[in-house]
Chain A
Amino acid sequence: MTPLRVLIISVPLLVLALPALAQEPARATISIERSLSIVSVRPIQLSPEQRVATLSLSADIQPNAPAVIRVTGDPGRVYRIRVPRTLTSSEGVALVEDLQIWSENTGDVSVTRTSHMDLDGRDMLRVSGRLRPANGASESVAALPLSIDYE
């Protein structure tokens, strides 16, 4: 066998004997959050005599007490508060207007409606407003639809 033939035969064999290898590192991701929760600590109380509830907090439930709401979530995260400007009865009659919101961590957020969790992932909200004479409403009770979401 001539060297040329040896070469012709050996090259493919050599190539076949190589452990040709290629590697590709790849990546997948997931984003984890702590769930947001809202707990109503006490409801808003407004009386016809005292139509504006102050945002201050006292131990007793006064006739002009604000709603107190505890929220929890991811520590330090900014969140947005969604409440309507006006509370209406089931008949659609405005009961409370000009809702004011005060956050324990941020202060008055009536306009910005944005606050943040503390280092333990907590915040306390106080919600108040101005009582409107309930003309046409059979009962002067309304639910406060409040929701929060991470910014």
Chain B
Amino acid sequence: MNRIAIVLLIAMSLLFAAPRQALAQSDASVTRSPATAPTLGTTIRGTSATTFSISTAGAVTRTSGDAIRLTSGSVTTPTLSINCGLLNLSGLCALRYIRVTITPVTGSGPATISRLRVGGLSGATYRAGSAPTEAASLTFDLNPIGLLSTATLKLGMDVVLSANAASGVYSFDYIVTVQLVS
């Protein structure tokens, strides 16, 4: 019996000595829907830098500048879904706090994300009791999501369009990182 236990212990040690990235991918996962969001649509460039503020519900408001968005309609904001697979058992995910980090990718295009905000959380609660204050990048913790839940939340942002931007279709990226913490 003791030999079997020692063998099992060695096997588990080897398992956890495996590359962490490979293990990590199977523990927590985050997906967003739709694949590209938000899509602001056709916009006439301005002579000054213009900020479009996108609420978590998708309403778009120009808060500064003189660029003109040709439609006043709402956009579809990204929905982030967080879970850990079957029954959230992987990595004891169901019992652990989840740290979410959302960071804009600084690129060379004329459109950049200057501010991020989250809202519409379901399937979980904020560890701090309320949604984080909007900021250039966000880091916040969710309480353990339990066995059956998938945490979902909506992401809004402020987008700055530079003055006299060249015509074309531009993308501006952001990265969502989910980490299980003790």
Tell me if A24 is interfacial: C-beta within 8 Å of chain B: yes
Tell me if B129 is interfacial: C-beta within 8 Å of chain A: no
If A7-B9, A26-B175, A28-B157 touch, does A16 touch B30 (CB 8 Å cutoff)?
A: no
Whole-angstrom CA separation of A34 from B70 in the bound complex = 12
Q: Are A29 and B171 neighbours in the complex by a CB distance under 8 Å? A: yes
Whole-angstrom CA separation of A29 from B171 in the bound complex = 4
Question: Interface on B for A, CB 8 Å cutoff?
Answer: 1-2, 5-6, 8-9, 12, 16, 20-21, 23-25, 27-32, 35-45, 68, 78, 80, 91-93, 96, 105, 110-111, 113, 157, 159, 161, 165-182
Rounded to whole Å, the gap between the CB of B8 and the closest CB of chain A is: 6
If A24-B176, A26-B173, A74-B167 touch, does A32 touch B25 (CB 8 Å cutoff)?
A: no
Rounded to whole Å, the gap between the CB of A147 and the closest CB of chain B is: 15
Whole-angstrom CA separation of A21 from B101 in the bound complex = 11
Tell me if A119 is interfacial: C-beta within 8 Å of chain B: no
Q: Are B174 and A31 neighbours in the complex by a CB distance under 8 Å? A: no
Q: Are A34 and B174 neighbours in the complex by a CB distance under 8 Å? A: no
A34 neighbours in B (Cβ, 8 Å): 44-45, 167
Rounded to whole Å, the gap between the CB of B163 and the closest CB of chain A is: 11
Whole-angstrom CA separation of A24 from B2 in the bound complex = 43
Whole-angstrom CA separation of A21 from B167 in the bound complex = 38
Whole-angstrom CA separation of A150 from B6 in the bound complex = 74
Decide if the interface of chain B is mainly helix, strand, loop or mixed: strand
Write 7 A-B pairs (CB below 8 A) sorted by A numbering. Answer: A10-B9, A14-B16, A15-B92, A19-B180, A20-B24, A27-B35, A28-B171
If A17-B182, A32-B168 touch, does A26 touch B28 (CB 8 Å cutoff)?
A: no
Q: Are A29 and B36 neighbours in the complex by a CB distance under 8 Å? A: yes
Whole-angstrom CA separation of A32 from B165 in the bound complex = 7
Q: Are B168 and A31 neighbours in the complex by a CB distance under 8 Å? A: yes
Whole-angstrom CA separation of A32 from B176 in the bound complex = 26
Q: Are B172 and A30 neighbours in the complex by a CB distance under 8 Å? A: yes
Q: Are B45 and A29 neighbours in the complex by a CB distance under 8 Å? A: no
Tell me if A22 is interfacial: C-beta within 8 Å of chain B: yes
B36 touches which of A12, A14, A28, A77 (Cβ 8 Å):
A28
B78 neighbours in A (Cβ, 8 Å): 26, 28
Rounded to whole Å, the gap between the CB of B19 and the closest CB of chain A is: 12
Chain B's closest residue to A25 (CB) is B175
Tell me if A3 is interfacial: C-beta within 8 Å of chain B: yes
B9 neighbours in A (Cβ, 8 Å): 3, 6-7, 10
B38 touches which of A10, A14, A25, A28 (Cβ 8 Å):
A28
A28 touches which of B2, B91, B174 (Cβ 8 Å):
B174
B43 touches which of A26, A33, A77 (Cβ 8 Å):
A33
Whole-angstrom CA separation of A14 from B27 in the bound complex = 13
B170 touches which of A6, A12, A22, A32 (Cβ 8 Å):
A32
Whole-angstrom CA separation of A28 from B34 in the bound complex = 10
Chain A's closest residue to B69 (CB) is A30
Tell me if A11 is interfacial: C-beta within 8 Å of chain B: yes
Q: Are B174 and A26 neighbours in the complex by a CB distance under 8 Å? A: yes
B38 neighbours in A (Cβ, 8 Å): 28
